Structure 1
Amino acid sequence: MARPLRFRHAPGRWTLDRVRRDVYADLDANLGATMSHPWYRQPDGYDARRFDMDNGDTALLAWTDDVAYWVGNTETPSALWRTDKIALDEAPPELTEWVERELLAELHEESPWLKPYPTLSWFFLPVFCSKDGRETTRAFFAEHAAGFPDASRDEALDFYESFLATGVFDPYRELMAGKLGTSTSLDLVRMSAAMGEFNAAKFLHDAGYAIEPEAEVTTGHSLDFRVEKDGRVTLVEVTRPLPPNRRAANTPVAAVRDTAQTKTDGQLERHAGGAVLFVDCSSFPDDDWRAVLGEKPELRHRPAVAFRVRPDGRVEGYTKGSVPLDLPF
């Protein structure tokens, strides 16, 4: 599975002749390519070209006399194979801004339903425009409402747009966007589980907590979040059970118990306690969630929180044990 979209940083002397010889000729021979000027003016001090492949792939190259930056969702020309990869936000800011403007314009041309959601489009750009995941990640939002049952595409997009617009995850964009994956296969289980972390983060942010993803702990691994409020730090691990109609456990309560047990026997057991387990039931339809909320089953770990969010912002849930967090239930 390919990584999210990244730059290749290529020091050395670059000229238009070298670009034609080492980049365009390679792409055209292997894929069929057109080299043209970019859609938007490149940053001052750079020359740049756009490459459109016959199979729909796109790439951009910008260079000065002594360095080039390549980004694309296509095969890498052999002249750039041994170059270093860097995240989009690790390049010079003016270059990143130009590349993102180019790619966002293409994204919105290809998927106009994303245009009303500029923050979500920008945040997930590294996967929406990735080599292997550009179709599957877009389909996850467009056709599966990002894992929400009984919700429309636009309801789900409104929900995540409003959360991402807070900027909470801006410093962690590559990490968090990358959790969706960049596979050519649409994996609803993995993608929905990834959005469970966004649901928990929105829930905690709305409760007034500062959030840091992938908190390292003394056992040598990481938990999903380190959250802090009024000087009090809490570690949070998130899990998301499949709804009963998509798993062997044929009741909502069994689905919640089994998923919590798996997490408790694994990562939380190695951590030796101290973290709060969040069980995101946002993939459960109304009837299944009502059964869970009515019984409030044990979650195999304490402290723990079972919760469900809806795209309109409603949150319901219950706790087990002494949860050291200020929650609305």
Structure 2
Amino acid sequence: MAGPLRFRRSREHWGTDRVRRELLEPLDERFGATLTDPWFTPEGYEARRLEMDNGDFALFCWTHSNRTAPDGESPDGGPDAYWLGNTETPETLWRTDKYTFDEAPPEVGAWAESELFARLEVEEPWLARHEHLSRFFLPVLFSKDGRETTREFFADHAAGFPDADRDDALAYYDAFLATGVLDEYRYTMAAKLGTSEGGDWFRMAATMSEFTVAKLLTDADLDFVPEVQLDSGHALDFRVDGQLVEVTRPRPPTRRRADTAVAAVRQTGKSKNDGQLREHPNTLLLVDCSSFRDDEWRRVAGERPQVAHRPTIVFRARPDGSFEGYRVGGCPLDLGTVIDWQD
């Protein structure tokens, strides 16, 4: 399965004739393809856009000038070329190395983002209005397998908020991503939304819980690192000033065997305690009930069911920026007044 968009880098000599022969011709034979000028051009490079009849596209740029290589490598004095696309990669580029937007030269990364965002403004203007959200997720919004499902998730599922206005939900995450606190982890976090052809809407909503928790920690003025790889072989969602944090999201009761929202919270906590939390018992578990409707959350907040792990915070976020929740076994982090506690 293809992942988020990444550049392929070629250090061979390229020119228009070779682009037509080794890139355009095999794609034209396979899908039907057209070679056009891009809307933008990276400084110091020649560039072309390839449009396939099936809706796929690719960007390619090349130069014969000496460039400073990414990742601090020493330039070898040869030419530089970059391919980016959600179509079949031509054979001549199969063995090339891959780079993220940030790992490519700044002018190349900025060029590709400008091309993709301009394309999104044409294809999905409702999404492009939320520019920080759209730019953050560009690698999956244009991925080979996930471009339709990710857009449908934002369009029809309000990024995982039930009974919420789509634009309100997108504006919530757009305002948070505008802070830039996740920019360093863009590929790691964006890729979690998924590049699958089939839309698993609850799994995608569960991914957005990590963004919701990142906002919660940011609002509390806490520094964090996401996706922490541990010596046990487990990966937990965050480390906050030495405190490990794991996030889980119970399915709404209408979509699971649990008959009630209260039972859903209890079952989710139990299933988490059987896994990595057994290896790391001091981890703070955050149970995100943002998929629950108002009436379902009121039952949970009123009964405050215990969870088979301590410490735990059970909470619910809304697109207006508010958090409500209660503690099971206390809270090792200073969340101040960010959460309206229902204890």
- Say whether residues 1:238 and 2:237 are aligned partners: no
Letter in 2 for 1:159: Y
Structure 2 residues not aligned, in runs of 5+: 65-78
Three-state SS of the structure 2 residue aligned to 1:90 is coil
The aligned counterpart of 1:156 is: 169
Deviation at 1:325, TM superposition (A): 1.1
Match runs of 1:173-322 below 5 Å: 173-228=186-241, 233-271=242-280, 273-322=281-330
Q: Is the 8 A contact 1:168 1:211 kept in 2?
A: no
Letter in 1 for 2:310: R
Distance in 2, Cα, partners of 1:78 & 1:215: 36
- Say whether residues 1:120 and 2:133 are aligned partners: yes
Distance in 2, Cα, partners of 1:191 & 1:172: 18
The aligned counterpart of 1:50 is: 49
Deviation at 1:82, TM superposition (A): 1.2
The aligned counterpart of 1:62 is: 61
Residue deviations 1:181-202 (CA, integer Å, cap 9, x gap): 0111111121011001111111
Distance in 1, Cα, partners of 2:302 & 2:216: 21
The aligned counterpart of 1:9 is: 9
Three-state SS of the structure 1 residue aligned to 2:226 is strand
Deviation at 1:104, TM superposition (A): 0.4
Three-state SS of the structure 2 residue aligned to 1:279 is strand
Letter in 1 for 2:284: V
The aligned counterpart of 1:86 is: 99
Instruction: Report the TM-score, using the length of structure 2 for normalisation.
Output: 0.92
Three-state SS of the structure 1 residue aligned to 2:102 is helix
The aligned counterpart of 2:72 is: none
Deviation at 1:174, TM superposition (A): 0.5
Q: Is the 8 A contact 1:305 1:320 kept in 2?
A: yes
Three-state SS of the structure 2 residue aligned to 1:19 is helix
Q: Is the 8 A contact 1:73 1:131 kept in 2?
A: yes
Residue deviations 1:26-65 (CA, integer Å, cap 9, x gap): 111101001011011x222211100011011111000112
Deviation at 1:143, TM superposition (A): 0.6
Residue deviations 1:277-298 (CA, integer Å, cap 9, x gap): 0000000001110111111111
Letter in 1 for 2:297: W
Three-state SS of the structure 1 residue aligned to 2:224 is strand
Deviation at 1:88, TM superposition (A): 1.5
Pairs aligned (count): 323
Distance in 1, Cα, partners of 2:128 & 2:232: 43
Distance in 2, Cα, partners of 1:186 & 1:222: 24
Provide the aligned C-alpha RMSD in A.
1.0
Deviation at 1:217, TM superposition (A): 2.6
The aligned counterpart of 2:116 is: 103
Structure 1 residues not aligned, in runs of 5+: none
Deviation at 1:216, TM superposition (A): 2.6
Q: Is the 8 A contact 1:243 1:255 kept in 2?
A: yes
Letter in 2 for 1:38: P
Distance in 1, Cα, partners of 2:95 & 2:259: 51
- When structure 1 is superposed on structure 2, of 173-182 and 78-87 the one drifting more is 78-87
